[in-house]
């Protein structure tokens, strides 16, 4: 009998062009390479310098998402790009894709969107694949039982040239989430709680596999939210074993196998889950029954608390370095230890990003905003993850709900997640954000970010102060 | 890539944990299509005051450490975004090695491809190094990659781990792409035997 294997082991082994040796890393085959305008140009330059072609343009897909504006279209139906640097980056991506034969989802076209939203949406993201992108949130694709991880621009060049990467095999860590979520508590709260409990470096050197009753009960979009933030826990990749939920999601999507090919693929995919008796190098646990909505108070995603809790006191922390980190974070955030965040005024609410911009996220936010007005003085930006998500939301009338409430309904893109396009949080202002990072200046210089779920964001949009979404459930 | 062998340089201590790549180089500097302007943006929020002038309190702005080529930083250095602009910013500023108790995986991988040496030491050595820098900001450390040793003032040597392949590439100034390109036959053989799973053109 063969040795029991984890999901990660199986995907890893199936992609070994050459196994690793003590002297050399493994040569790992990459099934799907997603690219965008920000981390690809220097890699194309290197290809040109060496006179190398893109080996498999048919395994490569480009989109425009990071530096793009999300401003509503003009009277010609065009999303206007004003920033000269963004124009240059987008022009270069167009030229590079044309030169090397790479399909491109052009800004504003029907399938364009955030790279980690479009892969799954198009059926390109499938169980058992290796998927990379010059973007750390490539971990998102692990929700399908794929091995997805972020790479740097040098590695983007390696994949262009060879469709392979040099890799040392990571260690494995099971992240077991038992129990069931209570109403008002979401997948976002699971991952924020894991990171708050174990810290932002816990996953360094590991690939997470999320398992347990609570994970099995989640939809694909919820699993994507969790895998997306694996990197915030330090893990380059996070995976969920594929199951019927996965297969139903993939079925019928444009780039997914069709008909008999799909049935054959499902038969292969059913062999992927971790075998009984397989061992992990490490395990983390969380009980979903006890979970309440989570929110961050500091300047890294591990600085999170239950929304009903209080900001930690420095004297509760184990060492001087942790106390110094907390002091600096709270000084930046202008928040006080020992205080609750409930009731704290918010200036901007951002509903979007590769973490929480899918149709289910927008539906959740809309149910709280339906028939209500957002609080006076609060700017609420709702940014769908893709043009497909936007079109679906509009078919369901969600755009009308958001607009009637006083929120902005914008075009698809990374938007205010990362402060490199026009969507920014002003200095000193507080943003309740469904994105993934609350680093100093992440949403703009001096911006103060509180990370939370779309439900918490929508509840907060209505009141203008940090609000526990469970207090609004009865009024739905 | 320039080969790294042995070098001695001034070390600057940045005793902050979890320095994320947004701090190393903010996203607004990522709108370039080459590697220009990144040194200017290195540690922007700490290095400059709101009016754009240099912050005299930031370690790399002090006269004694202005030319430091070694950075000593807190645990989990380089966490967050995968932007290779972070090691590009550090190397174009002049940093050749970062010493920490741990590095985020993607940052470490990116650094090794750019001749930036990530040196992992234990917590005790880290604290000792920070103290040494605080006592004498002009202190020089010697890094010997071939023997994987960090030489402290007074002659004490501390070993550090590095993957053998990465060490070979750094010592010889070769990049990894040449090595993978040499595996072309194996790649073609793999493709011939693997199921066709993805076609972005179809």
**What's residue B154's pLDDT?**
87
Q: What are phi and psi of A430, to 5 degrees?
A: -100, 130
**Of B76, B168, B201, Cβ closest to residue A57:** B201
Question: Which residue from B minimizes the CA distance to A127?
Answer: B197
CA distances from A288 to A204, A213, A240, B189, B196 (A): 24, 9, 17, 46, 39
CA distance B171 to chain A (A): 14
- The ipTM (two decimal places) reads 0.97
CA angle A293, A191, A335 (to 5 degrees): 55
Model confidence pTM above 0.90: yes
Q: In a 3-state reduction of DSSP, which class is residue B123?
A: helix
Distance (Å, rounded) from C-alpha A197 to C-alpha A187? Answer: 15
Q: In a 3-state reduction of DSSP, which class is residue B118?
A: strand
Distance (Å, rounded) from C-alpha A228 to C-alpha A354? Answer: 7
pLDDT digits (tens, 9 = 90+) for A103-152: 999 999 999 999 999 999 999 999 999 999 999 999 999 999 999 999 99
Q: Which residues are CB-neighbours of A446 under 8 A, at least 6 positions away?
A: A426, A427, A428, A429
For chain B, how many helices (H) and strands (E)?
9, 7
Looking up tokens 């029907």 gives A110
Task: Dump the DSSP string for A330-352.
Answer: HHHHT--TT-B-TT-B-SEEEE-
**Of A102, A154, A163, Cβ closest to residue B113:** A154
pLDDT digits (tens, 9 = 90+) for B73-101: 999 999 999 999 999 999 999 999 999 99
**What's residue A1's pLDDT?**
57
Q: Does B28 touch chain A (CB under 8 A)?
A: yes
**Of B17, B22, B200, Cβ closest to residue A61:** B200
Question: Which among B91, B94, B161 is positioned nearest to B122, based on CA atoms?
Answer: B161
Q: Does A267 touch chain B (CB under 8 A)?
A: no
**What's residue A320's pLDDT?**
86
Cβ neighbours, 10 Å, residue A215 = 24
Taking the CA atoms of residue B73, residue B77, residue B83 and residue B84 in that order, the dihedral angle to the nearest 10 degrees is 60
Q: Does A63 touch chain B (CB under 8 A)?
A: no
Chain B (139-178) residues lying within 8 Å, Cβ to Cβ, of chain A: 163-165, 168, 175-177
Spell out which residues of chain B touch residue A237, defining contact as CB-CB under 8 Å: none
Q: What is the mean pLDDT of residues B142-154?
A: 96
- Strand B117-120 and strand B97-100: the pairing is parallel
Cβ neighbours, 10 Å, residue A82 = 9
Question: Which among A266, A261, A241, A268 is positioned nearest to A172, based on CA atoms?
Answer: A241
Distance (Å, rounded) from C-alpha A310 to C-alpha A317? Answer: 14
User: What sign has the CA pseudo-torsion A182, A186, A191, A193?
Assistant: negative
Spell out which residues of chain A touch residue B110, defining contact as CB-CB under 8 Å: 152-155
Spell out which residues of chain A touch residue B73, defining contact as CB-CB under 8 Å: none
Distance (Å, rounded) from C-alpha B29 to C-alpha A356? Answer: 25
Spell out which residues of chain A touch residue B116, defining contact as CB-CB under 8 Å: none
Q: Which residues are CB-neighbours of B63 under 8 A, at least 6 positions away?
A: none
Q: Give B64-75 as a 3 state SS string.
A: HHCCCCEEEECC
Low-confidence ranges of chain A (pLDDT < 70): 1
- Max CA distance (Å), chain B: 65
Query: How many residues does this entry show for chain A?
Result: 476
Q: Does A319 touch chain B (CB under 8 A)?
A: no
Question: Which residue from A minimizes the CA distance to B181?
Answer: A162
pLDDT digits (tens, 9 = 90+) for B13-68: 999 999 999 999 999 999 999 998 899 999 999 999 989 999 999 999 999 998 99
Q: Does B197 touch chain A (CB under 8 A)?
A: yes
**Of B79, B176, B186, Cβ closest to residue A166:** B176
Question: Which residue from B minimizes the CA distance to A231?
Answer: B80
Spell out which residues of chain B touch residue A46, defining contact as CB-CB under 8 Å: 177
Residue A61: CA count within 13 A, CB half-sphere:
28
Are A152 and B106 in contact (CB < 8 Å)? yes
**Of A55, A231, A420, Cβ closest to residue B27:** A420
CA angle A406, A411, A416 (to 5 degrees): 80
Are A161 and B177 in contact (CB < 8 Å)? yes
Could you say which DSSP state residue A177 is in? E
Are B18 and A419 in contact (CB < 8 Å)? no
């Amino acid at each position: 009998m063969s040795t029991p294997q984890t999901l990660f082991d199986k995907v890893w082994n199936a992609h070994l062009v050459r196994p690793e040796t003590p002297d050399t890393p493994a040569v790992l085959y990459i099934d799907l390479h997603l690219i965008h305008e920000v981390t690809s140009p220097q890699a194309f330059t290197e290809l040109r310098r060496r006179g190398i072609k893109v080996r498999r343009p048919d395994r490569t897909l480009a989109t425009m998402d990071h530096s793009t504006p999300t401003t509503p279209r003009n009277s010609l139906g065009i999303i206007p790009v004003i920033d000269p640097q963004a124009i240059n980056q987008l022009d270069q991506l167009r030229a590079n894709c044309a030169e090397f034969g790479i399909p491109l989802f052009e800004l504003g076209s029907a399938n364009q969107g955030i790279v980690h939203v479009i892969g799954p949406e198009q059926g390109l993201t499938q169980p058992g694949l290796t998927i990379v992108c010059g973007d750390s949130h490539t971990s998102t694709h692990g929700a399908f039982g794929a091995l997805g991880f972020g790479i740097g621009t040098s590695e983007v060049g390696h994949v262009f040239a060879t469709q392979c990467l040099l890799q040392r095999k990571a260690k494995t860590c099971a992240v077991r989430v038992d129990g069931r979520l209570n109403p008002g508590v979401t997948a976002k709260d699971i991952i924020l709680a894991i990171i708050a409990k174990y810290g932002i470096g816990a996953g360094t050197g590991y690939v997470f596999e999320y398992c347990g009753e609570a994970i099995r009960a989640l939809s694909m979009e919820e699993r994507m939210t969790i895998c997306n933030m694996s990197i915030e826990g330090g893990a380059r990749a996070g995976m969920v074993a594929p199951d019927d939920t996965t297969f139903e999601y993939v079925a019928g999507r444009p780039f997914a196998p069709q008909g008999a090919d799909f049935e054959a693929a499902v038969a292969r995919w059913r062999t992927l889950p971790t075998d009984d008796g397989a061992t992990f190098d490490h395990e983390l646990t969380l009980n979903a029954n006890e979970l309440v909505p989570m929110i961050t108070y500091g300047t890294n995603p591990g600085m999170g608390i239950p929304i009903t809790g209080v900001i930690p006191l420095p004297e509760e922390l184990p060492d001087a370095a942790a106390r110094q980190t907390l002091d600096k974070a709270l000084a930046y955030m202008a928040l006080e230890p020992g205080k609750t965040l409930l009731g704290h005024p918010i200036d901007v609410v951002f509903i979007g990003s590769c973490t929480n911009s899918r149709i289910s996220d927008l539906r959740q936010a809309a149910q709280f905003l339906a028939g209500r007005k957002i609080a006076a003085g609060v700017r609420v930006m709702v940014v769908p993850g893709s043009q497909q998500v936007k079109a679906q939301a509009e078919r369901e009338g969600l755009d009308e709900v958001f607009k009637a409430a006083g929120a902005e309904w914008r075009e698809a893109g990374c938007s205010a997640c990362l402060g490199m396009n026009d969507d920014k949080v002003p200095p000193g202002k507080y943003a309740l954000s469904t994105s993934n990072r609350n680093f100093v200046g992440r949403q703009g210089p001096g911006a103060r970010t509180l990370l939370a779920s779309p439900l918490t964001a929508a509840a907060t949009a209505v009141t203008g102060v940090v609000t526990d979404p469970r207090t609004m459930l009865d009024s739905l | 890539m320039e080969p790294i062998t042995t070098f001695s340089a001034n070390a600057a201590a940045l005793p902050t944990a979890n320095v994320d790549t947004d701090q190393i180089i903010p996203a607004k500097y990522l709108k370039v299509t080459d590697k220009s302007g990144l040194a200017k943006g290195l540690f922007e929020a700490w290095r400059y005051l709101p009016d754009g002038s240099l912050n005299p309190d930031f370690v790399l702005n002090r006269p004694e450490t202005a030319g430091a080529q070694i950075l000593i930083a807190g645990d989990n250095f380089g966490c967050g975004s995968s932007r290779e602009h972070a090691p590009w910013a550090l190397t174009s500023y002049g940093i050749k090695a970062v010493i920490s108790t741990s590095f985020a995986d993607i940052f470490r991988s990116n650094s090794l491809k750019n001749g930036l040496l990530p040196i992992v030491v234990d917590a005790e050595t880290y604290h000792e190094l920070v103290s040494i820098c605080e006592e004498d900001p002009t202190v020089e450390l010697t890094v010997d990659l071939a023997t994987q040793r960090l030489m402290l003032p007074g002659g004490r040597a501390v070993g550090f781990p590095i993957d053998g392949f990465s060490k070979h590439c750094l010592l010889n100034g070769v990049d990894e792409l040449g090595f993978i390109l040499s595996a072309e036959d194996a790649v073609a053989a793999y493709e011939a035997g693997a199921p066709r799973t993805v076609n972005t053109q179809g």
